Structure 1
Amino acid sequence: MELHKDTLSKTITFSENYPDYFHRSFVYAQSYLHDQHLSEDIASEALIKLWENWDESYTTVQRKAFLLTIIRNKCLDHLRKIQVNTKTHEELTEISQRELVFRISLLESTVPQELFISDIQKIVDNTLKQLPEQTRLIFKLSRIDNKSANEIAGELGISIKSVEYHITKSLSLLRKKLKDYLPVILFLYA
Protein backbone atom coordinates (compact mmCIF):
# COMPACT_ATOMS: atom_id res chain seq x y z
CA MET A 1 0.00 0.00 0.00
CA GLU A 2 2.91 2.36 0.81
CA LEU A 3 4.41 1.77 -2.69
CA HIS A 4 1.12 2.70 -4.33
CA LYS A 5 0.87 5.79 -2.17
CA ASP A 6 4.41 6.87 -3.14
CA THR A 7 3.62 6.38 -6.83
CA LEU A 8 0.40 8.36 -6.46
CA SER A 9 2.21 11.16 -4.66
CA LYS A 10 4.96 11.15 -7.31
CA THR A 11 2.36 11.29 -10.08
CA ILE A 12 0.50 14.17 -8.49
CA THR A 13 3.67 16.18 -7.87
CA PHE A 14 4.98 15.48 -11.37
CA SER A 15 1.60 16.34 -12.96
CA GLU A 16 1.46 19.61 -11.09
CA ASN A 17 4.92 20.57 -12.32
CA TYR A 18 4.64 19.15 -15.85
CA PRO A 19 3.32 22.28 -17.67
CA ASP A 20 6.02 24.48 -16.15
CA TYR A 21 8.75 21.91 -16.69
CA PHE A 22 7.68 21.23 -20.26
CA HIS A 23 7.55 24.94 -21.10
CA ARG A 24 10.98 25.57 -19.57
CA SER A 25 12.42 22.50 -21.32
CA PHE A 26 10.95 23.46 -24.67
CA VAL A 27 12.16 27.07 -24.51
CA TYR A 28 15.65 25.99 -23.47
CA ALA A 29 15.92 23.38 -26.25
CA GLN A 30 14.40 25.76 -28.81
CA SER A 31 16.94 28.46 -27.96
CA TYR A 32 19.72 26.16 -29.18
CA LEU A 33 18.06 23.98 -31.79
CA HIS A 34 15.81 26.48 -33.61
CA ASP A 35 13.46 23.62 -34.47
CA GLN A 36 10.05 23.54 -32.83
CA HIS A 37 9.24 19.86 -33.37
CA LEU A 38 12.65 18.66 -32.32
CA SER A 39 12.57 20.90 -29.24
CA GLU A 40 9.17 19.47 -28.29
CA ASP A 41 10.50 15.93 -28.72
CA ILE A 42 13.56 16.62 -26.60
CA ALA A 43 11.46 18.32 -23.90
CA SER A 44 9.13 15.30 -23.82
CA GLU A 45 12.02 12.81 -23.70
CA ALA A 46 13.68 14.79 -20.93
CA LEU A 47 10.48 14.82 -18.88
CA ILE A 48 10.12 11.06 -19.30
CA LYS A 49 13.67 10.67 -18.02
CA LEU A 50 12.86 13.01 -15.12
CA TRP A 51 9.76 10.95 -14.33
CA GLU A 52 11.77 7.71 -14.38
CA ASN A 53 14.29 9.23 -11.96
CA TRP A 54 11.81 11.20 -9.85
CA ASP A 55 12.68 11.23 -6.22
CA GLU A 56 10.50 13.01 -3.67
CA SER A 57 13.58 13.84 -1.65
CA TYR A 58 14.99 16.04 -4.43
CA THR A 59 14.37 19.74 -4.16
CA THR A 60 12.75 21.68 -6.97
CA VAL A 61 16.13 23.17 -7.83
CA GLN A 62 17.73 19.71 -8.03
CA ARG A 63 14.92 18.47 -10.31
CA LYS A 64 15.30 21.48 -12.61
CA ALA A 65 19.08 21.04 -12.67
CA PHE A 66 18.64 17.34 -13.54
CA LEU A 67 16.13 18.26 -16.26
CA LEU A 68 18.42 20.98 -17.59
CA THR A 69 21.32 18.50 -17.75
CA ILE A 70 19.23 16.02 -19.73
CA ILE A 71 18.09 18.66 -22.20
CA ARG A 72 21.60 20.10 -22.50
CA ASN A 73 23.03 16.65 -23.33
CA LYS A 74 20.29 15.86 -25.85
CA CYS A 75 20.78 19.24 -27.56
CA LEU A 76 24.54 18.74 -27.61
CA ASP A 77 24.12 15.28 -29.15
CA HIS A 78 21.84 16.65 -31.84
CA LEU A 79 24.06 19.65 -32.62
CA ARG A 80 27.13 17.42 -32.81
CA LYS A 81 25.32 15.18 -35.30
CA ILE A 82 24.52 18.25 -37.38
CA GLN A 83 28.14 19.33 -37.12
CA VAL A 84 29.40 15.94 -38.33
CA ASN A 85 26.84 15.87 -41.14
CA THR A 86 27.72 19.42 -42.14
CA LYS A 87 31.43 18.68 -42.10
CA THR A 88 30.89 15.54 -44.18
CA HIS A 89 28.70 17.49 -46.60
CA GLU A 90 31.32 20.25 -46.85
CA GLU A 91 34.06 17.69 -47.51
CA LEU A 92 31.97 16.05 -50.22
CA THR A 93 31.16 19.46 -51.66
CA GLU A 94 34.86 20.37 -51.59
CA ILE A 95 35.74 17.14 -53.41
CA SER A 96 32.99 17.77 -55.96
CA GLN A 97 34.17 21.35 -56.36
CA ARG A 98 37.79 20.26 -56.94
CA GLU A 99 36.65 17.69 -59.49
CA LEU A 100 34.49 20.31 -61.21
CA VAL A 101 37.41 22.76 -61.34
CA PHE A 102 39.59 19.99 -62.77
CA ARG A 103 37.04 19.16 -65.47
CA ILE A 104 36.62 22.83 -66.37
CA SER A 105 40.37 23.40 -66.59
CA LEU A 106 40.76 20.24 -68.65
CA LEU A 107 38.11 21.43 -71.09
CA GLU A 108 39.58 24.91 -71.21
CA SER A 109 43.05 23.58 -71.94
CA THR A 110 41.86 21.18 -74.60
CA VAL A 111 41.63 22.51 -78.13
CA PRO A 112 39.69 19.83 -80.06
CA GLN A 113 40.97 21.00 -83.41
CA GLU A 114 44.58 20.55 -82.28
CA LEU A 115 43.82 17.11 -80.85
CA PHE A 116 42.16 15.93 -84.01
CA ILE A 117 44.74 17.50 -86.27
CA SER A 118 47.47 15.77 -84.28
CA ASP A 119 45.68 12.39 -84.51
CA ILE A 120 44.95 12.86 -88.18
CA GLN A 121 48.54 13.89 -88.89
CA LYS A 122 49.82 10.70 -87.20
CA ILE A 123 47.47 8.56 -89.29
CA VAL A 124 48.50 10.35 -92.49
CA ASP A 125 52.19 9.96 -91.65
CA ASN A 126 51.81 6.26 -90.81
CA THR A 127 49.74 5.63 -93.93
CA LEU A 128 52.28 7.38 -96.15
CA LYS A 129 55.04 5.23 -94.65
CA GLN A 130 53.11 2.14 -95.80
CA LEU A 131 53.01 3.35 -99.41
CA PRO A 132 55.63 2.31 -101.94
CA GLU A 133 58.38 4.90 -102.25
CA GLN A 134 57.33 6.24 -105.66
CA THR A 135 53.64 6.53 -104.66
CA ARG A 136 54.65 8.39 -101.47
CA LEU A 137 56.91 10.75 -103.45
CA ILE A 138 54.17 11.52 -106.00
CA PHE A 139 51.63 12.13 -103.24
CA LYS A 140 54.00 14.55 -101.46
CA LEU A 141 54.82 16.40 -104.67
CA SER A 142 51.09 16.70 -105.44
CA ARG A 143 49.57 17.46 -102.04
CA ILE A 144 52.41 19.00 -100.06
CA ASP A 145 54.38 20.81 -102.77
CA ASN A 146 51.17 21.62 -104.73
CA LYS A 147 52.60 20.52 -108.07
CA SER A 148 50.31 19.59 -110.94
CA ALA A 149 50.22 16.12 -112.49
CA ASN A 150 52.01 17.55 -115.59
CA GLU A 151 54.84 18.99 -113.45
CA ILE A 152 55.27 15.74 -111.51
CA ALA A 153 55.22 13.65 -114.71
CA GLY A 154 57.87 15.90 -116.27
CA GLU A 155 60.04 15.91 -113.14
CA LEU A 156 59.93 12.10 -112.64
CA GLY A 157 59.86 11.19 -116.33
CA ILE A 158 56.60 9.20 -116.11
CA SER A 159 53.20 9.56 -117.78
CA ILE A 160 50.43 11.75 -116.41
CA LYS A 161 48.24 8.60 -116.12
CA SER A 162 50.89 7.02 -113.91
CA VAL A 163 50.95 10.13 -111.68
CA GLU A 164 47.11 10.06 -111.44
CA TYR A 165 47.22 6.33 -110.59
CA HIS A 166 49.66 6.90 -107.71
CA ILE A 167 47.66 9.87 -106.34
CA THR A 168 44.41 7.87 -106.57
CA LYS A 169 46.06 4.92 -104.80
CA SER A 170 47.33 7.24 -102.01
CA LEU A 171 43.97 8.98 -101.53
CA SER A 172 42.09 5.68 -101.51
CA LEU A 173 44.29 4.30 -98.74
CA LEU A 174 44.06 7.56 -96.76
CA ARG A 175 40.25 7.53 -97.04
CA LYS A 176 40.18 4.02 -95.57
CA LYS A 177 42.52 4.94 -92.72
CA LEU A 178 40.72 8.21 -91.94
CA LYS A 179 37.16 6.90 -92.28
CA ASP A 180 36.51 7.29 -88.53
CA TYR A 181 37.68 10.90 -88.68
CA LEU A 182 35.56 11.91 -91.65
CA PRO A 183 32.71 13.34 -89.50
CA VAL A 184 35.26 15.32 -87.46
CA ILE A 185 37.02 16.56 -90.58
CA LEU A 186 33.69 17.60 -92.06
CA PHE A 187 32.68 19.23 -88.76
CA LEU A 188 35.93 21.17 -88.52
CA TYR A 189 36.51 22.03 -92.16
CA ALA A 190 33.17 21.93 -93.98
Structure 2
Amino acid sequence: MKEDSSNYSLYDEEDLVTAFQVSEDMRAFEEIYKRFWFKLYNAALKRTTSQQEAEELIQNIFERLWANRRKAVIHNIGAYLAVSLRNILHDHTRRRMTAEKYRQTLDTDPLVNTTEEDVNRELLLKDIDKTLRELPEKTQTVFRLSRFENKSVREIAGNLDLTEKAVEYHITKAIKLLRQRLRGYMSAFL
Protein backbone atom coordinates (compact mmCIF):
# COMPACT_ATOMS: atom_id res chain seq x y z
CA MET A 1 0.00 0.00 0.00
CA LYS A 2 0.98 3.58 -0.53
CA GLU A 3 2.23 5.70 2.35
CA ASP A 4 -0.54 8.30 2.08
CA SER A 5 -3.65 6.43 3.21
CA SER A 6 -5.87 9.50 2.70
CA ASN A 7 -5.43 9.63 -1.09
CA TYR A 8 -6.99 6.43 -2.44
CA SER A 9 -6.73 7.63 -6.01
CA LEU A 10 -3.02 6.79 -5.78
CA TYR A 11 -3.66 3.18 -4.73
CA ASP A 12 -3.35 0.46 -7.30
CA GLU A 13 -6.29 -1.93 -7.65
CA GLU A 14 -4.69 -4.70 -5.62
CA ASP A 15 -4.08 -2.36 -2.68
CA LEU A 16 -7.64 -1.04 -2.90
CA VAL A 17 -9.04 -4.58 -2.78
CA THR A 18 -6.87 -5.41 0.23
CA ALA A 19 -7.94 -2.24 2.07
CA PHE A 20 -11.53 -2.87 1.18
CA GLN A 21 -11.61 -6.58 2.03
CA VAL A 22 -9.24 -6.88 4.96
CA SER A 23 -9.69 -3.51 6.67
CA GLU A 24 -13.26 -3.00 5.47
CA ASP A 25 -12.18 0.48 4.50
CA MET A 26 -15.20 2.30 3.11
CA ARG A 27 -13.03 4.90 1.38
CA ALA A 28 -11.22 2.15 -0.54
CA PHE A 29 -14.63 0.80 -1.58
CA GLU A 30 -15.69 4.30 -2.69
CA GLU A 31 -12.54 4.56 -4.82
CA ILE A 32 -13.34 1.22 -6.48
CA TYR A 33 -16.83 2.55 -7.12
CA LYS A 34 -15.47 5.77 -8.66
CA ARG A 35 -13.07 3.90 -10.91
CA PHE A 36 -15.50 1.32 -12.27
CA TRP A 37 -19.02 2.71 -12.04
CA PHE A 38 -19.11 4.59 -15.35
CA LYS A 39 -17.53 1.79 -17.37
CA LEU A 40 -19.95 -0.78 -15.90
CA TYR A 41 -22.88 1.58 -16.38
CA ASN A 42 -22.10 2.09 -20.08
CA ALA A 43 -21.80 -1.65 -20.62
CA ALA A 44 -25.11 -2.25 -18.82
CA LEU A 45 -26.86 0.54 -20.71
CA LYS A 46 -26.05 -1.19 -24.02
CA ARG A 47 -27.84 -4.34 -22.83
CA THR A 48 -30.84 -2.89 -21.00
CA THR A 49 -33.82 -0.88 -22.10
CA SER A 50 -33.30 2.19 -19.93
CA GLN A 51 -30.86 4.28 -17.96
CA GLN A 52 -32.78 3.49 -14.79
CA GLU A 53 -32.44 -0.28 -15.31
CA ALA A 54 -28.72 0.09 -15.99
CA GLU A 55 -28.23 2.19 -12.85
CA GLU A 56 -30.15 -0.30 -10.72
CA LEU A 57 -28.12 -3.22 -12.02
CA ILE A 58 -24.81 -1.45 -11.32
CA GLN A 59 -26.05 -0.48 -7.87
CA ASN A 60 -26.85 -4.15 -7.24
CA ILE A 61 -23.33 -5.16 -8.28
CA PHE A 62 -21.76 -2.78 -5.78
CA GLU A 63 -24.20 -3.76 -3.04
CA ARG A 64 -23.26 -7.41 -3.57
CA LEU A 65 -19.57 -6.52 -3.64
CA TRP A 66 -19.87 -4.82 -0.25
CA ALA A 67 -22.05 -7.59 1.21
CA ASN A 68 -19.62 -10.32 0.09
CA ARG A 69 -16.40 -8.40 0.83
CA ARG A 70 -15.10 -10.95 3.35
CA LYS A 71 -15.78 -14.11 1.41
CA ALA A 72 -15.21 -13.01 -2.21
CA VAL A 73 -11.95 -14.11 -3.79
CA ILE A 74 -10.82 -11.16 -5.87
CA HIS A 75 -7.53 -11.32 -7.76
CA ASN A 76 -8.43 -8.65 -10.32
CA ILE A 77 -11.19 -6.21 -9.36
CA GLY A 78 -11.85 -5.17 -12.98
CA ALA A 79 -12.33 -8.76 -14.11
CA TYR A 80 -14.38 -9.57 -11.00
CA LEU A 81 -16.75 -6.66 -11.68
CA ALA A 82 -16.98 -7.54 -15.39
CA VAL A 83 -18.02 -11.10 -14.53
CA SER A 84 -20.47 -9.76 -11.95
CA LEU A 85 -21.98 -7.51 -14.62
CA ARG A 86 -22.25 -10.38 -17.09
CA ASN A 87 -24.00 -12.54 -14.46
CA ILE A 88 -26.39 -9.84 -13.33
CA LEU A 89 -27.28 -8.98 -16.94
CA HIS A 90 -27.90 -12.65 -17.65
CA ASP A 91 -30.22 -12.91 -14.62
CA HIS A 92 -31.96 -9.67 -15.57
CA THR A 93 -32.54 -10.83 -19.16
CA ARG A 94 -33.84 -14.20 -17.99
CA ARG A 95 -36.28 -12.54 -15.56
CA ARG A 96 -37.46 -10.12 -18.25
CA MET A 97 -37.99 -12.97 -20.74
CA THR A 98 -39.88 -15.01 -18.15
CA ALA A 99 -42.10 -12.03 -17.36
CA GLU A 100 -42.75 -11.49 -21.07
CA LYS A 101 -43.65 -15.16 -21.59
CA TYR A 102 -46.02 -14.92 -18.64
CA ARG A 103 -47.68 -11.82 -20.10
CA GLN A 104 -48.04 -13.58 -23.47
CA THR A 105 -49.56 -16.60 -21.75
CA LEU A 106 -52.12 -14.37 -20.11
CA ASP A 107 -52.89 -12.75 -23.45
CA THR A 108 -53.39 -16.10 -25.19
CA ASP A 109 -54.71 -18.22 -22.32
CA PRO A 110 -58.13 -19.45 -23.40
CA LEU A 111 -59.36 -19.45 -19.80
CA VAL A 112 -58.39 -15.81 -19.33
CA ASN A 113 -59.87 -14.79 -22.68
CA THR A 114 -62.95 -16.91 -22.15
CA THR A 115 -63.59 -15.24 -18.83
CA GLU A 116 -63.11 -11.81 -20.37
CA GLU A 117 -65.33 -12.75 -23.29
CA ASP A 118 -67.96 -14.10 -20.91
CA VAL A 119 -67.97 -10.84 -18.96
CA ASN A 120 -68.21 -8.82 -22.19
CA ARG A 121 -70.99 -11.05 -23.47
CA GLU A 122 -72.92 -10.65 -20.21
CA LEU A 123 -72.56 -6.87 -20.35
CA LEU A 124 -73.69 -6.84 -23.96
CA LEU A 125 -76.72 -9.01 -23.19
CA LYS A 126 -77.68 -6.75 -20.28
CA ASP A 127 -77.42 -3.69 -22.52
CA ILE A 128 -79.51 -5.38 -25.20
CA ASP A 129 -82.13 -6.46 -22.68
CA LYS A 130 -82.30 -2.97 -21.18
CA THR A 131 -82.71 -1.42 -24.63
CA LEU A 132 -85.32 -3.99 -25.73
CA ARG A 133 -87.43 -3.25 -22.64
CA GLU A 134 -87.97 0.24 -24.02
CA LEU A 135 -89.82 -1.23 -27.00
CA PRO A 136 -93.47 -2.31 -27.12
CA GLU A 137 -94.00 -5.84 -25.83
CA LYS A 138 -94.89 -7.31 -29.23
CA THR A 139 -91.69 -5.87 -30.79
CA GLN A 140 -89.62 -7.32 -27.93
CA THR A 141 -91.21 -10.74 -28.36
CA VAL A 142 -90.69 -10.79 -32.13
CA PHE A 143 -87.05 -9.73 -31.81
CA ARG A 144 -86.29 -12.28 -29.10
CA LEU A 145 -87.86 -15.09 -31.14
CA SER A 146 -85.91 -14.02 -34.21
CA ARG A 147 -82.50 -13.37 -32.71
CA PHE A 148 -82.36 -15.44 -29.51
CA GLU A 149 -84.41 -18.46 -30.54
CA ASN A 150 -83.44 -18.40 -34.22
CA LYS A 151 -87.05 -18.61 -35.43
CA SER A 152 -87.76 -17.71 -39.04
CA VAL A 153 -90.04 -14.84 -40.01
CA ARG A 154 -92.61 -17.39 -41.21
CA GLU A 155 -92.50 -19.31 -37.87
CA ILE A 156 -92.88 -16.12 -35.83
CA ALA A 157 -95.76 -14.93 -37.99
CA GLY A 158 -97.52 -18.27 -37.55
CA ASN A 159 -96.94 -18.44 -33.77
CA LEU A 160 -98.02 -14.83 -33.06
CA ASP A 161 -100.79 -14.60 -35.62
CA LEU A 162 -99.03 -11.79 -37.52
CA THR A 163 -98.24 -11.23 -41.15
CA GLU A 164 -94.67 -11.77 -42.27
CA LYS A 165 -94.52 -8.06 -43.13
CA ALA A 166 -95.49 -7.18 -39.54
CA VAL A 167 -92.79 -9.50 -38.16
CA GLU A 168 -90.18 -7.84 -40.40
CA TYR A 169 -91.40 -4.42 -39.22
CA HIS A 170 -90.96 -5.36 -35.54
CA ILE A 171 -87.49 -6.82 -36.15
CA THR A 172 -86.43 -3.72 -38.10
CA LYS A 173 -87.77 -1.44 -35.37
CA ALA A 174 -85.82 -3.34 -32.66
CA ILE A 175 -82.61 -3.38 -34.70
CA LYS A 176 -82.89 0.33 -35.41
CA LEU A 177 -83.17 1.15 -31.70
CA LEU A 178 -80.33 -1.21 -30.77
CA ARG A 179 -78.09 0.34 -33.41
CA GLN A 180 -78.83 3.81 -32.06
CA ARG A 181 -78.15 2.84 -28.46
CA LEU A 182 -75.28 0.40 -28.93
CA ARG A 183 -73.58 1.95 -32.00
CA GLY A 184 -71.00 -0.17 -33.78
CA TYR A 185 -70.86 -2.42 -30.74
CA MET A 186 -73.74 -4.44 -32.13
CA SER A 187 -72.82 -4.81 -35.80
CA ALA A 188 -71.35 -8.29 -35.40
CA PHE A 189 -74.27 -9.45 -33.27
CA LEU A 190 -77.00 -8.18 -35.56
- The two structures have a TM-score, normalised by structure 2, of 0.46
TM-score (norm 1): 0.46
> When you count helix as a share of all residues, which structure comes out higher?
1
